[in-house]
Chains A and B, each alone.
Chain A
Amino acid sequence: MQQYPVADIMDICVEAGRVMLENGAETYRVEDTLYRIAKSYHLENINVFVVPTALIITVQGYDGLDHTELLRMSDRNTNLEKVSMVNDLSRQLNKKPLPPKKVRDKLTNIKNTPTNFTRFQRNGAMALACGGFTLLFGGSYMEFLPAFIAGGLGHYLFEVVNNWTNVSFFAEMIASFFIGLLAVVFIALGFGQDLNVIIIGSVMSLVPGMAITNSFRDLMAGHLLAGVAVLAKALITAGAIGIGIAIVLAFL
């Protein structure tokens, strides 16, 4: 069994954790993956603590000294392919631990993997999903088109404004205001009857339903801090969306 320097192993653990967190992995998944990676290098006393924007890992090296590393990051997207690639890498390391340099190269490759779909395709797919949601909430096919356009454009606007500013609350409020405006315009033009259904469908691109479910899974896993943190962010986002739509409806 070859012994690599503990600092290098910690570096790749933290790097793997960074890639997973940046691409939308859940808290317990990141903790589990980091635990497995450190375990496969035969380190002792591994303790990992992850919240959505930070992670701390402490191990005891071969010489009995304790090493700790903290990572703080802020950018979060969702890219399930990269998360699954890091998962595969950790399983591969479990079978046979590789030298840390090679693992770091693999992680760099994973980070530089291009997305499977172009930005236009992703926005179009999101617009389709918003239209689908309108149908699910009881709308007719007449309401599919307004939700398609409003949802797609609203999501695009959200991404653009989010790139400008650090505060995503602002971007969500503006995007939902725009969606509400477009929905009212479409109803006035006669493209559908039920305003509420169109708004609910098109706003689904912004609503953090997935975040609420993930927060419950974190709470069930015993990670109370991360669960409450994700829940708070989800409620703030939902509040921003509510404010944006309420402004539009107040002026109706």
Chain B
Amino acid sequence: MTLTYLTYLFAAFVAAFGFGVMYNVPTRTLFASSISGAIGWLVYYIIAFQFELVLFIGAGAASFLIAFLSQWFARRYKMPVIVFTVPAIIPLVPGGSAYNMMRAFIEGNSEAALMFGTETFLVSGAIALGLSLNSGLFQVFSSRAFGKRDKRYLP
């Protein structure tokens, strides 16, 4: 069991690292975003498959945790938050489900397509929800904006 966890940590780290290089993040932030990607995927795996809760909750909790880690890293490395968030949520995004959905759709298997489709959209929605919730929380509690509401575009 520990070996499986280690394999998954390593694989998620490598995936986040690869996409971090691909998206050209500043070099000194690469390790931090890969670590948060690995931790986030492990949390998702544990919640979704070990505790047998719905994928939605697992993805939402994992992306919320990743956003927290990204905020912490952002303050530490003095970089904006997206530089840490984007590579870290790459292992979570439902690429496999999206591919399976389109393949089932093309092969005429509409039940499987519907199932994969709902899985894709639920997990994507959960990730977006987790990130937005965290961003909103930080906006509410940031000392400048507490009490007054400025016209902001950020979700």
Contact = CB atoms under 8 A, between A and B. Distances in A.
Given A80-B82, A87-B80, A212-B124, A28 B153 contact: yes
B105 interface: yes
Given A79-B24, A80-B83, A213-B89, A125 B17 contact: yes
Given A136-B11, A136-B91, A241-B102, A204 B96 contact: yes
Interface in A113-156: 115-117, 121-122, 125-133, 135-137
Contacts of A210: 86, 89-90, 93
Interface string B118-134: 00110011011101100
Counting chain A CB atoms within 10 Å of each CB, the highest count among B27, B96, B121, B125 belongs to: B96
B155 A28 contact: yes
B48 interface: no
B52 interface: no
A99 interface: no
A132 B15 contact: yes
Contacts of A3: none
Nearest to A217: B128
A242 B99 contact: yes
Interface in B107-155: 107, 120-121, 124-125, 127-129, 131-132, 151-155
B5 to A, nearest CB: 12
Contacts of B129: 216, 220
Contact of A133 (B13, B15, B101, B120): B15
Contacts of B121: 212
B96 A129 contact: no
A80 B27 CA distance: 11
Given A212-B124, A217-B155, A220-B129, A84 B93 contact: no
B11 A133 contact: yes
Contacts of A246: 103, 106-107
Given A116-B26, A245-B103, A133 B95 contact: yes
A210 B131 CA distance: 13
B128 A209 contact: no
Majority-rule SS of A interface residues: helix
Contacts of A128: 14, 17-18
Nearest to A30: B153
B155 A221 contact: yes
A69 interface: no
Given A212-B93, A238-B98, A84 B21 contact: no
15 contacts: A28-B155, A35-B151, A80-B23, A80-B24, A88-B80, A116-B26, A125-B18, A132-B15, A133-B11, A133-B91, A136-B91, A200-B96, A207-B96, A209-B93, A213-B128
Interface string A1-34: 0000000000000000000000010101101100
A193 interface: no
Contacts of A79: 23-24
Interface in A54-75: none
A136 B86 contact: no
Interface in B35-81: 41, 79-80
A207 B99 contact: yes
B143 to A, nearest CB: 16
A216 B23 contact: no
Interface in A212-252: 212-213, 215-217, 220-222, 234-235, 238-239, 241-243, 245-246
A249 to B, nearest CB: 8
A39 B95 CA distance: 39
A203 interface: yes
A92 interface: no
Contacts of A83: 80, 82
B94 A125 contact: no
